[in-house]
């Protein structure tokens, strides 16, 4: 079982060192994520070739002190997040935040950064605090590895003194409700760095959301039992199974019953595939149920 380990650091330079130490320890760069305010890194100003193509990926890093390892993170990109400002982001966490439309579901309430993190299974309260930390000039580092590597990952990440979210919010009253776009980040500072202790770690771990592939054999069995008589192949219903899986795996719908979300699910489905819901709704429902069981 793999988990994602996340730490919030007081500034980009500290986070850069964490990423470099993780890479030097042999961890695959594709497993490492970084999200930081570009108001702090100034990478978009210091790089002559910062935007590479229509997808917005950042090309060869040229910002002073930016770091060669940071420049090679998977999917490194630049974006402006409402309420947060310009950010750079790479890796799995970065991709979720930079994805088109990531703020459409929860952006108005929690900010685009928090919305992306929530979609990856990070609790809303933690995601909101991470978003506020980044808005204030902090930087987020994450790494997804098998749990057997936990001790080594925590040792490297704790060596650079990640912030303790509980202590941070206790010290600063305007952090008590997490992300707050209305609060000016005038000093771009995340506060004092907590001292790590053996009893308490500031690196938090999150179990990764279930994968579609884990449930796919069950979806094929459902197709064979319910849909083979229609003459449509399994691939015809595959998008419906995937859609139902995504609904069931989403934190946004976890506390709802199917009857409560079906009207919205139908509307969203038929926006792209008009007049097909009744043909595939059993597949969507089956996938939804499978994740929640």
- DSSP for the chain, written as a single string: -EEEEEEEESSHHHHHHHHHHHHHTT--GGGEEEEEEHHHH-HHHH-TT--BTTTTB--S--STT--HHHHTSTT-EEEEETTTEEEEEEHHHHHHHHSTTTHHHHHHHHHHHHHHHHHTT--HHHHHHHHHHHHTT-EEEEEEEEGGGHHHHHHHHHHT----HHHHHHH-GGGTTS--TTS--TT----PPPPP-SS--S-EEEEPPPPHHHHHHHHHHHHHHHTGGGS--HHHHHHHHHHHHHHHH-GGGTTS-HHHHHHHHHHHHHHHSTT-HHHHHHHHHHHHHHHH-
The answer to whether residue 89 scores a pLDDT higher than 50 is yes
Q: Do residues 157 and 5 make contact, with C-beta atoms less than 8 angstroms apart?
A: yes
Q: Do residues 104 and 121 make contact, with C-beta atoms less than 8 angstroms apart?
A: no
The answer to whether residue 227 scores a pLDDT higher than 80 is yes
What's the pLDDT at 195?
A: 34
- The pLDDT tens digits for 233-272 are 999 999 999 999 989 887 777 778 999 999 999 999 999 9
What's the pLDDT at 108?
A: 40
What's the pLDDT at 273?
A: 93
What's the pLDDT at 197?
A: 32
Cα(114)–Cα(102) distance, integer angstroms: 9
Q: How far is CA 210 from CA 119, 216, 289, in A?
A: 12, 11, 13
The answer to whether residue 7 scores a pLDDT higher than 90 is yes
- The pLDDT tens digits for 38-72 are 765 555 555 544 434 334 444 444 444 567 788 88
What's the pLDDT at 55?
A: 43
Higher pLDDT, 79 or 60: 79
The answer to whether residue 280 scores a pLDDT higher than 90 is yes
- What's the pLDDT band for 118 if we cut at 50, 70, 90? confident
Mean confidence (pLDDT) of the chain: 77
Cα(126)–Cα(128) distance, integer angstroms: 5
Q: Do residues 8 and 138 make contact, with C-beta atoms less than 8 angstroms apart?
A: yes
Cα(66)–Cα(110) distance, integer angstroms: 29
- The pLDDT tens digits for 174-218 are 554 454 545 544 444 444 333 333 333 589 998 876 678 778 888
% the chain with pLDDT above 90? 36
The answer to whether residue 288 scores a pLDDT higher than 50 is yes
């Amino acid at each position: 079982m793999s988990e994602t380990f996340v730490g919030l650091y007081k500034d980009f330079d500290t986070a850069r060192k964490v990423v470099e130490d993780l890479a030097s320890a042999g961890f695959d760069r594709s497993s490492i994520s970084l999200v930081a305010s570009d108001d702090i890194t100034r990478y978009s100003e210091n790089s002559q070739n910062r935007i590479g193509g229509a997808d917005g990926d950042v090309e060869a890093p040229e910002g002073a002190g930016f770091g060669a390892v940071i420049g090679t993170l998977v999917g490194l990109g630049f974006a402006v997040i409402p309420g947060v400002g310009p950010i750079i982001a790479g890796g799995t966490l970065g991709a979720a935040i930079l994805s088109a439309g990531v703020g459409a579901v929860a952006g108005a309430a929690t900010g685009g950064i928090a919305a992306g993190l929530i979609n990856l299974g990070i609790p809303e309260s933690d995601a909101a605090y991470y978003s506020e930390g980044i808005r204030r000039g902090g930087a987020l580092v994450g790494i997804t590895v098998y749990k057997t590597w936990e001790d080594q990952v925590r040792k490297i990440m704790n060596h650079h003194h990640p912030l303790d979210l509980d202590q941070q919010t206790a010290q600063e009253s305007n952090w008590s409700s997490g992300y707050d776009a209305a609060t000016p980040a005038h000093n771009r500072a995340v506060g004092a760095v907590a001292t790590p202790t053996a009893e308490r770690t500031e690196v938090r771990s999150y179990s990764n959301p279930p994968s579609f592939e884990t449930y796919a054999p069950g979806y094929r069995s459902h197709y064979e039992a319910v849909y083979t008589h229609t003459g449509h192949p399994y691939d015809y219903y595959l998008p419906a199974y995937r859609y139902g899986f995504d609904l069931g795996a989403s934190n946004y719908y976890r506390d709802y019953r199917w009857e409560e979300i079906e009207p919205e699910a139908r509307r969203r489905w038929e926006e792209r595939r008009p007049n097909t819901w009744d043909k595939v709704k059993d597949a969507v429902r089956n996938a939804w149920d499978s994740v929640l069981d």
